[in-house]
Amino acid sequence: MNDWNALRKHYRALTKAIEATPKNEWATDAYAFEGLVRMTPIEQWLWHDIRAVDAVLYPQFPILGFFVDFANPRAKVAIECDGAAYHDESKDAARDAKLTNAGWVVYRISGSDCRDGVGLDSGENSKARNFIKQIAMNHKLLRA
């Protein structure tokens, strides 16, 4: 289980660096989160695709009192990836509305789409990889 207070503290310490760094560059080592963030299998699959595409998205990012699965605070882009067991349409809609009202763009991808292509040598055509690549291109989040 994640230590949510430690994550908040970690991101508070990075806030100035994130704000001073272009949205398509990391303010910290992209792997600095290992050991600090525990991801579900669905999040791990999507993180793999995020890293393969070389998009800048921070895992378990705190926004408005809750955590989004992945976010780029400079671009105000959030991505949620939940399995059917954790999907609550009314709760998700309320969170999305709060984020949208604060100027964020929220994307959602299903757990089954995150799993698409897992274990294959090339994930280039997977739904999740294409999803991330399109978001990263639209918001200019691909590393320079």
Query: What are the pLDDT digits (tens) for 41-58?
Result: 999 999 999 999 999 999
Cα 99 to Cα 106: distance, rounded to the nearest angstrom:
7
pLDDT over 80 (residue 34): no
Q: Which domains does the chain have, with CATH numbers?
A: 4-138 (3.40.960.10)
- Closest by CA to 27, choosing from 15, 39, 35, is 15
Cα 123 to Cα 5: distance, rounded to the nearest angstrom:
34
> Secondary structure of the chain in the HEC alphabet?
CCCHHHHHHHHHHHHHHHHHCCCCCCCCCCCCCECCECCCHHHHHHHHHHHHHCECCEEEEEECCEEEEEEECCCCEEEEEECHHHCCHHHHHHHHHHHHHCCCEEEEEEHHHHHCCCCCCCCCCCHHHHHHHHHHHHCCCECC
Per-residue model confidence as pLDDT tens digits over 60-106: 999 999 999 999 999 999 999 987 666 678 888 999 999 999 999 99
